Amino acid sequence: MRRAFNTRRPACALAAGLLALMPGMVRAAEPVCLAPREFTQIATYALPNALTATAQRCSATLPADAFLKTGGPEMIGRYAAAKPSAWPGAKAAFLRITESQQGEVVNVLRNLPDPQLQQMVDAFIQGLVAQKIPAERCSSIDHMLRLLSPLPAQSTADIIGLAIGLGSQTGQARIGQIRICNP
């Protein structure tokens, strides 16, 4: 008997990779609260790298006709087109997340030119997502991405943000020390 498809776990795994931009960076007593728009900017920017890492992580466990192998490259390309316009908002939100930190690292991040900061964020997102996605969830994630594939990047980011935001209202949907707040 086939198990029911649970969209929450794959969405949370993908969202975890999108939100946890720097491991251990946010250690404030109170969780950093991102407005839905801030989260959407980060997610829109991060989606292409998160999807690329997901495709790489899951390539060995998915069949040849899996969405990530057949339609994934096109989806990643479409979503990559949204990255430049999302960067200013994503950068501001990312730097706001780092505000609770003290020390030279925060100053270095704030003073990095955009191309270098983008390279660092992109590499980190890919590495984090590749580490955090359990191989046994690859087929569920593939199914979820197939369902989301017709949507533009911002709509997908909005859906992920809405799911995380709804969980934040119950106090359960946090990723590390980051949560989505009501505007």
**CA 75 – CA 67 distance, rounded (Å):** 10
pLDDT at 63 exceeding the cut of 70: yes
Average pLDDT over residues 124-144: 91
Q: How confident is the model at residue 106 (pLDDT cuts 50, 70, 90)?
A: confident
Average pLDDT over residues 112-122: 92
pLDDT of residue 164: 75
pLDDT at 97 exceeding the cut of 70: yes
- The least confident of 26-40, 59-73, 113-127 is 26-40
What type of residue sits at position 144? M
Q: Are 12 and 89 spatial neighbours (Cβ–Cβ below 8 Å)?
A: no
Of 24 and 162, the one with more pLDDT:
162
Here the tokens at position 179 are: 């949560």
Q: What percent of the chain has pLDDT over 70?
A: 73
Query: In sequence order, what are the residues at sequence separation of 6 or more whose Cβ sits closer than 8 angstroms to the Cβ of residue 135?
Result: 57, 58, 60, 61
Query: Looking at the whole model, is its pTM more than 0.85?
Result: no
**CA 33 – CA 165 distance, rounded (Å):** 10
Residue 101 DSSP code? -
pLDDT tens readout for residues 139-177: 999 999 999 999 999 899 988 888 777 766 665 545 555
Q: Are 148 and 159 spatial neighbours (Cβ–Cβ below 8 Å)?
A: yes
Here the tokens at position 64 are: 């040849």
Write phi, then psi, for 40 (nearest 5 degrees). Answer: -60, -40
Q: How confident is the model at residue 23 (pLDDT cuts 50, 70, 90)?
A: very low
Average pLDDT, the chain: 80
Of 21 and 183, the one with more pLDDT:
183
**CA 111 – CA 103 distance, rounded (Å):** 13
pLDDT of residue 12: 45
Write phi, then psi, for 158 (nearest 5 degrees). Answer: -65, -40
**CA 58 – CA 138 distance, rounded (Å):** 6
pLDDT of residue 39: 87
